Amino acid sequence: MHFLDINKTDPTDLRAMIDQARAMKVARQGQSKGMVDADQPLAGKMVALVFEKPSTRTRVSFDVGIRQMGGQSIVLSGTEMQLGHGETIADTARVLSRYVDLIMIRTFEESTLLELADHASVPVINGLTNRTHPCQIMADILTYEEHRGPIAGKKVVWTGDGNNVCASFLHAAGQFGFDLTFTGPPTLDPDPVFVAEARAKGATIEIERDAAKAVAGADLVVTDTWVSMHDPQSTRERRHNQLRPYRVDAALMAHAAPDALFMHCLPAHREEEVTSQVMDGPQSVIFDEAENRLHAQKAILRWCLGV
């Protein structure tokens, strides 16, 4: 089974993945990180990790997770693959499917992911596209619930840019039953299609331009970088001017619920979208969140392979 987006996966399966991720994390406590999981569910399995976009957390967490479960991985960069250049994506999918048991791809265009999945005869995992980032949000749900219990019915506030991570949070709101408030400039609003879909599934989705009002009573406050590594300087300056009122600092967090958590998928630009005081403060769970990419993705891999 493919894991392409949270909104394309049955809520029962999503819940099972979160629960299994937590169980696997608990089972490994106190062990060396290099030890193989006792049941070795990926023994004999080969996984291709395809990176058109570079990554630290995605590459390491998938690679380590595969090894911990007894499998093997082969990492392929965009320069090695040149997807769609010289060979069609469809043909690449067919060829890779003859060599490996699963493909994880981190790419730019959603169309690349979808074409690969359409023509692969093995499961495909969305490691990130410009449109969504489902693996990250599965880790975020896991992180919230291990600190505060069920996320259903809670208020999540996204502040800043309605980007691909925000899009997957909207998907998750509809699937896991929490509410989400977006606060940011109108030029960077999330995709209205995703907003409408979450609302149709019963989630309360609000857009509030005043960051303090948006964060009032929040159970979880989330932000992300304001600029991509590929953005030109002119774009960086324009985004900074638009997004400065939405920086997460101690004053903004004071409007949230007393036990509210703060998340950021990293890497962060300290003192830009969030202050170090918040990142290193008692409400921040950013490094638990980073670790949980490993555990959540292990559960996703197992679900895709049925092991």
**Residues with active-site annotation:** 106, 133, 136, 224, 265, 293
Rg, the chain, Cα only: 19
Judge if the upstream peptide bond of residue 11 is cis by omega within 30 degrees of 0: no
Q: Which of 99, 97, 128 is nearest to 4 (CA)?
A: 128
Residue that has been written with the tokens 């106190």 in this structure = 30
Vertex 43 angle, CA 42 and 49, to 5°: 50
CA dist 176 → 4, 138, 142, 185 (Å): 17, 10, 11, 26
Q: Which of 251, 258, 265, 246 is nearest to 283 (CA)?
A: 258
CA dist 53 → 30, 124, 231 (Å): 33, 16, 14
Q: Among positive and negative, which fits the CA dihedral 142, 145, 150, 153?
A: negative
Check: CB of residue 129 under 8 Å from CB of residue 164.
yes
One-letter amino acid at 287 equals F
The DSSP bridge partners found for residue 264 are: 223
Count Cα atoms within 13 angstroms, Cβ side, for 15. Answer: 11
Residue that has been written with the tokens 């069609």 in this structure = 88
Check: CB of residue 124 under 8 Å from CB of residue 89.
no
